[in-house]
């Protein structure tokens, strides 16, 4: 099943994507939460309720709706660094033997087709196509053998990175959480439909140039290992998002670097999960208080 959040002429809602249509669940299942994470957190009962409602729900053309980020405000957005061997190599570093995690600010969560801002304070804006994991059950001290039990689904994401701010300090946080730099979507694909996440192609195009062309089988630490590691330190909770790393081909690795520019279009795609796309626009440094 592919769960989405959308805006249409008739208002906003939650839906199930079926081919080139969206089954609008609002009228046939008003008891279902408008946040797909809540549906997934209800387990099999939630999934079955959404599937049943979709059979009789009115349909909207996918092209006629605006898809929104498929999750509400997450509690945590976490990213792992240097998790693909070829990406570690292109940066001139040895593959890590310990997982390297950072926070993406939850305020950077962004819609799958909304414009992404070039920061007012930098032009070193880079792209990273990533498989994004949506947590649907609370988990603490979860062994890797059971780790996927707490996963509700998967999305395509782009971990936009402001490289000069990222490299200015020992932690990567400041370069990873600028506004609009966490687009995800276009929907949440449940595990049964996503299939084997250890073998998924990932691609990124800047305009018409293919920059990244990798596969999740090249991860150093797979999804289950990531969940096991994180839950040794703190719980993962419904709605938390894990950005699981990026393959080789990032702009910073070119000589000279190929950072994106205002006006560029960046398209990222993960096999069986769909593609998201953004045009880069200039941020205006406007003071906003309150």
Tell me: the pLDDT tens digits for 123-172?
A: 999 999 999 999 999 999 999 999 999 999 999 999 999 999 999 998 88
Nearest to 100 by CA among 90, 87, 112: 87
**pLDDT at site 93:** 87
Mean pLDDT of 93-111: 96
Spatial separation of the C-alpha atoms in residues 12 and 185, rounded to whole Å: 16
Mean pLDDT of 225-232: 98
Q: Which secondary structure element, helix H or strand E, spans residue 226, and what is its range? A: helix 223-231
Nearest to 181 by CA among 275, 265, 118: 118
- CA atoms within 13 Å, Cβ hemisphere of 11: 7
Per-residue pLDDT at 92 exceeds 90: no
Per-residue pLDDT at 115 exceeds 90: yes
The residue behind tokens 């000279």 is 256
Nearest to 158 by CA among 119, 196, 130: 130
**pLDDT at site 128:** 98
- On whether the CB atoms of residues 112 and 69 are closer than 8 A, the answer is yes
CATH of domain 77-282: 3.90.850.10
- On whether the CB atoms of residues 279 and 171 are closer than 8 A, the answer is no
The residue extents of the domains of the chain are 2-68, 77-282
Tell me: the pLDDT tens digits for 238-248?
A: 999 999 999 99
Fill in the DSSP letter of residue 237. -
Mean pLDDT rounded to a whole number for the chain: 97
Fill in the DSSP letter of residue 287. -
Tokens representing 238 are 């419904």
Fill in the DSSP letter of residue 110. E
Distances (CA, A) of 134 to 41, 168, 188: 10, 30, 8
């Amino acid at each position: 099943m592919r769960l989405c959040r959308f805006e249409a002429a008739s208002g906003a809602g939650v839906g199930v994507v079926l081919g080139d249509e969206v089954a609008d669940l609002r009228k046939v299942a008003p008891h279902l939460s408008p946040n797909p994470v809540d549906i997934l957190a209800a387990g099999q009962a939630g999934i079955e309720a959404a599937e049943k409602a979709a059979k009789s729900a009115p349909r909207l053309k996918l092209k006629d709706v605006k898809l929104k980020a498929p999750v509400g405000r997450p509690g945590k957005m976490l990213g792992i660094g240097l998790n693909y061997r070829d990406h570690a190599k292109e940066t001139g570093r040895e593959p890590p033997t310990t997982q390297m995690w950072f926070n993406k600010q939850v305020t950077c969560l962004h819609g799958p087709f909304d414009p992404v801002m070039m920061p007012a304070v930098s032009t070193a804006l880079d792209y990273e196509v990533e498989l994004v994991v949506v947590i649907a059950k609370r988990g603490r001290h979860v062994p890797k053998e059971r780790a996927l039990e707490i996963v509700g689904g998967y999305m395509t994401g782009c971990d936009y990175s402001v490289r000069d701010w990222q490299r200015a300090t020992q932690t990567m946080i400041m370069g990873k959480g600028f506004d609009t730099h966490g687009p995800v979507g276009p929907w949440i694909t449940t595990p049964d439909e996503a299939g084997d996440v250890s073998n998924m192609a990932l691609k990124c195009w800047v305009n018409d140039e293919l920059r990244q062309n990798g596969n999740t089988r090249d991860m150093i630490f797979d999804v289950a290992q990531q969940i096991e590691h994180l839950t040794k330190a703190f719980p993962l909770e419904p709605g938390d998002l894990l950005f699981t790393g990026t393959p080789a081909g990032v702009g910073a690795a070119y000589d000279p670097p190929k950072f994106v520019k205002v006006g560029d279009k960046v398209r990222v795609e993960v096999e069986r999960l769909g593609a998201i796309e953004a045009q880069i626009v200039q941020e205006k440094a406007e003071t906003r208080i309150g």
